[in-house]
Structure formats: structure tokens, C-alpha cells
Structure 1
Amino acid sequence: MNSCAQKQSFQIRDARLTEVEQLPAIEISAAQSFMSVPGLTWIATSDAMSADAHRKSIRTGTSWVAVNTMDTPVGFLTASVEHNDVHILEMSVASPWQGYGIGKALLRHLKQWALREKLTGITLTTFQEVPWNAPFYSKMGFVILSNKALDQRLASVLDREHSHGFPKGSRCAMRFDLRRIAHQK
């Protein structure tokens, strides 16, 4: 099997506590894409999500990894349940594995999990203009929420992001309404 075919071969499964130390390296690798975005290059050298945050999500069953044929994580999605929504805390794919559909597969997996859990939506915050952020999620069925549509939780997340250095107005909250696909079944 050639290396291209091997890179395309992955599966999604629950993350394991033994993998916690590998996940920040995936996030740092993924963040290198920001080196090409003027004004956001600092993200490439920022801290990754803490191992403790990953542990918490793994223990609550809201963390999934994309693994290669050697069962090594190459991408992850870490989330938390907030009322009737599941909120994506971080989704990252290691740089060499980007462009193979791993992000889409992680989101499909999350949607199916959330439907089984009888949740009504998936939320996240992301950059509005970065191509692999809001435009990507829009293609996956997420909708940007207007400021008026933000609940207190999402408004607080955006405020915290601004206070941590994200340019004001560069970020947005998005939501995928799971009831759309629940009714199709």
C-alpha cells in the first residue's frame, strides 16, 4: 500500500486516557496552518488544550480520535454537553493528515452520537474568515448565530476568547440543529 493510501485509511473511535498526552501535539501540529493567516500567526505558538481538559472529556465520553492503521491518533474532537447541546471545545487534525476528510468524519461521528444522546444541537466558536473554520462548518450544515441569538453561555465563550487575544469580531458562534436530521430518520 502506498503512503497516500495509508494516510487516507483511518477510523474514528472513543479517545482513551492513555492517549491524553498525544492530543496536544496534534493540536499544535494543526495550528501551524495559522502561520499563513496574517494577524493570527501567534496561534501557531500558543498553548494547546490542557491534558486535564482532555481527561475530563474522555471520562464523560465526549472525546473521539481519528486513528491511523497503527491505531495512533492523528486527529481528535473534544466536546462537553451543555444543557441540550454538545459544544465542541476543540477539533484538530495533525498537519500531515489534513485534507483527507478526517474533520468531516469526526463531525459525522459527533452528530450520530448526539442524536443517540437525544441532544438538540451542536455548538462551537470559530474564526469567521479562516477557510478551515466558519466556511468549513457552514458546508457541514452549521449556521452562524447572530449576537441576538447567542445564549449567555456562548456569549461568555466569545468574551473569554476576546480577552485571550482573539481580535474583536473575528470569532463567531455556530450551531447545528440536530432536529433537522432527527426528523429525517
Structure 2
Amino acid sequence: MRIRPATPADLPLLQDIERAAGEPFRTLGMTEIADDEPPALELLERFRAAGHAWVAEGDEAEGTEGDGDAGRPVAYLIGEPVDGAFHIEQVSVHPDAAHRGVGRTLIEYAADRARDQGLTGLTLTTFTEIPWNAPYYERIGFRPLTDPELTPGLRKIRATEAEHGLDRWPRVCMYRATT
């Protein structure tokens, strides 16, 4: 697997990955999440132009979506610095490439880039009761943040999520040091 910066040509493919990655939420009764539109191309471009959008390329041996996927994105991660840490806005893996460590590899790559930029950790927000969300992130070294630990930037992110109705399901902010 190869991690590389996203290119402008990748951005529509990232939307396709996001749509596919949302489908498993449907089986949990979270149809609003499954049907949610992926990030707009303009937003993806903003992350890409800032150098904060990376893709994991497919490998012919992975069997993702048939033949000819070598070099094609099968997962992506976008984020940005927030209050001294790198906040992972989204990490999505196409279901055909799931359970192979692709998401974890993208997160490690982001951690390395954050460390290089002098950022102290990674943050993210996620659903607490979805197996591939908070329980997964805890297994790879993230910990839930208590309310007093939330920075002003994380509070703003959580407020925006609440405005979009994401608090219909339990959510949490999580942190992992980059050192």
C-alpha cells in the first residue's frame, strides 16, 4: 500500500469512497449517516491545497472493485491543525479495502506529518457505539477526552456537528499523542 498526497483528479474518487464507506451505517439504522452527502469538492480541495489530504492507493492483489485498481485511491484522510494538534476531519476506507489496516496506516501517516509540523497529537470526533468508530480508535491508541479537556477549537467542531444533527447518536472527542 502506498500513501500519497491527494491530487485534484482524486477528489471525485474520494467522494465515491465516502459514499461507499457510509453504507455500513445503514445496517445499524443510521440511514441519515449512510445518505449524507460526501464532502464537497471545494472543501476537499481546501484540504488538498493546504497539504492535509492523503490517499491510500489500491493494490491489484487487494481485489478492490475489480481489475485495474493499482494506484487508485481506496481510502483517504483529511484534517487540519486545531489548537496545537492535527484534527482528523475524516478518514474513510472503501468497504472493499476494509480490515486490511488501511485506515490505521493513513492515521500513522497523519501522525508522522503532524509530528513533523510540531503538533503534539491527533484529535478526532466519532460515534461512541459504532464498532469501527470509538472502539476502533481506542484500540489504536486514542483516548476519549473529558469535557474540561476540550480545547476551544474542539468545542466549536462539536457545536457544528450538533447543528448538523450528529448528536442524535452518542459522540466523543478523542486524542492520541504524536510522540
Per the TM alignment, residue 127 of structure 1 is displaced from its structure 2 partner at its CA by 0.4
TM-score computed with the length of structure 2 as normaliser = 0.89
Report whether the alignment pairs 1:61 with 2:40.
no
Q: How big is each residue's C-alpha offset from its partner over 1:7-58, in whole Å with a ceiling of 9 and x where there is no partner? A: xxx22111112211111110110000101213x2221111111111111111
Report how far residue 83 of structure 1 moved: 3.6
2:39 to 36, 49, 67: 49
Q: 1:115 deviation in Å?
A: 1.3
Local SS of the residue matching 1:56: helix
Structure 2: stretches of 5+ with no match in the other structure: 60-69
Map Cα deviations across residues 96-134 of structure 1 (whole Å, 9 max, x no partner).
111111011101111111111111111111001111011
| Residue 34 of structure 1: aligned partner | 25
1:175 matches 2:166: no
Q: TM-score under structure 1 normalisation? A: 0.87
> Following superposition of structure 1 onto structure 2, how do residues 17-166 of structure 1 map, counting pairs within 5 Å?
17-38=8-29, 40-69=30-59, 70-166=70-166
How big is the alpha-carbon RMSD for the aligned residues of Structure 1 and Structure 2?
1.3
In structure 1, runs of 5+ residues without a counterpart are: 1-9
User: Once the 2 structures are TM-superposed, how far is the Cα of residue 168 of structure 1 from its aligned partner?
Assistant: 4.8
1:138 maps to a residue whose letter is E
Q: Which residue does the alignment assign to 2:62?
A: none
2:3 equivalent to 1:12: yes
Between 160-169 and 75-84, the greater mean CA deviation after superposition: 160-169
Any runs of at least 4 consecutive aligned residues in structure 1 with deviations exceeding 2 A, and if so which?
Answer: none
Q: Is the 8 A contact 2:3 2:55 kept in 1?
A: yes
Shift of the alpha carbon at 1:147? 1.2
